[in-house]
Amino acid sequence: MSFALVRLYIDMKHDNVTKHIVWDWNGTLFHDIDAVVGATNELFRPYGLPPITPDGFRQVYTRPIWIAYERMLGRPLNEGEWQVLDEGFHEHYHRLMLDCGLTTDCRDSLREWERGGGSQSLLSMWAHERLVPKVTEFGLHGHFERIDGLRSAAGGHKAEHMVAHIQALGVDPAQVLVIGDSLDDAHAAQHAGARAVLYTGGMTLRTELESFGVPVVDSLAEALGHA
């Protein structure tokens, strides 16, 4: 092999290393499973549904969330019902999340990645006007080059938001690792041309996470090992 081809191979290998991490918020950096399950139980109490546990919630959870609601009800949502349920969920969630904190190794993982010279950002499907103050409240905003939450109606998939987020950062998707807790994060990474690692501390069953074929981890520190 010529020197030029060897140099090209080395450059290609170097270009494919992870230089930037896009973190998810809810269920990944922010450990809010108790608030999610509690809000869901409050939401469906008037329907006569029995309370569910975190594991029970993981059995039905999917994105978009209205599909999970249809699974719980055993029927399609009626016209206008999704909007009522979505507003009700967030009303309960925003009250219950006040008792939630960061994932155990969140701060250490963010600092560790920075010490290694990597950049990072945050992309969430939570409302942008609530996300930024909450991240700032925890003192994490300085870790991120960009913070994006949902600026439109709730629901839907994360894929197009991921594309826009990475484009706004001006980074090569091939050098991006997405770390999240749902299949929606993995789909979004794939759609954008990035890699993904999925964390089990959120709302999705491990077996379902493993079905996508990307690494599945039990801690954020372990996720960094795949960067």
Can you tell me the mean pLDDT for 16-32? 95
How far apart (Å, rounded) are the C-alpha atoms in residues 223 and 98? 26
Q: Taking 50 as the threshold, does the pLDDT of residue 139 lie above it?
A: yes
d(CA 132, CA 122): 10
Beta bridge partners of 127: 150
Angle between helices 81-96 and 65-73 (to 10 degrees): 100
**Quick one: tokens of 70?**
């249809």
pLDDT at 104 over 90: yes
pLDDT above 70 for 12: no
Position 155 scores a pLDDT of 54
Average the pLDDT over 109-117 and give the result: 97
CA-nearest of 25, 27, 31 to 120 is: 25
Q: What's 125's DSSP letter?
A: E
The pTM score is: 0.87
Q: Are 93 and 35 in contact (CB under 8 A)?
A: yes
Q: What is the pLDDT of residue 152?
A: 76
According to DSSP, residue 50 is labeled: P
User: What's the chain's average pLDDT?
Assistant: 91
Query: What average pLDDT does this structure show over 55-71?
Result: 90
